[in-house]
A = this chain, B = another copy of it.
Amino acid sequence: MNKLFIIKIGGNVLDNPAALNSFLKDFASIKEPKILIHGGGKIATKLGDQLGIESKYINGRRITDAQTLDVVTMVYGGLVNKQIVATLQTLSCNAMGVTGADGNLIKAVKRPVKDIDYGFVGDIKAEGVNTALLYFLLQQNVVPIFAPLTHADGSILNTNADTIASVLAVALSKHFDVRLIFCFEKKGVLMDVNNQGSVITHLPKKRYDELLPQGIFADGILPKLENAYAAIQTGVKEVLIGEAKDLLKNTGQVTEGTLITL
Hey, which bits of chain A sit against chain B, CB under 8 A? 47, 50-51, 70, 73-79, 81-83, 85-87, 89-90, 94-99, 101-104, 133, 136, 140, 142, 149, 151, 153-156
Contacts and interface: CB of A to CB of B under 8 A. Distances in A.
A229 to B, nearest CB: 32
A89 B133 contact: no
Interface core residue of A51, A76, A79, A86 (most chain B CB under 10 Å): A86
Total copies of this chain within the assembly: 2
A21 to B, nearest CB: 9
Which 4 A-B residue pairings sit nearest by Cβ, starting from the closest?
A78-B78, A74-B74, A74-B78, A90-B154
A156 B103 contact: no
A52 to B, nearest CB: 8
A90 B142 contact: no
24 contacts: A50-B51, A73-B79, A73-B82, A73-B83, A74-B74, A78-B81, A82-B99, A85-B101, A85-B102, A86-B151, A86-B154, A86-B156, A87-B154, A89-B101, A89-B151, A89-B154, A90-B154, A94-B104, A95-B101, A96-B98, A97-B98, A97-B102, A98-B102, A136-B140
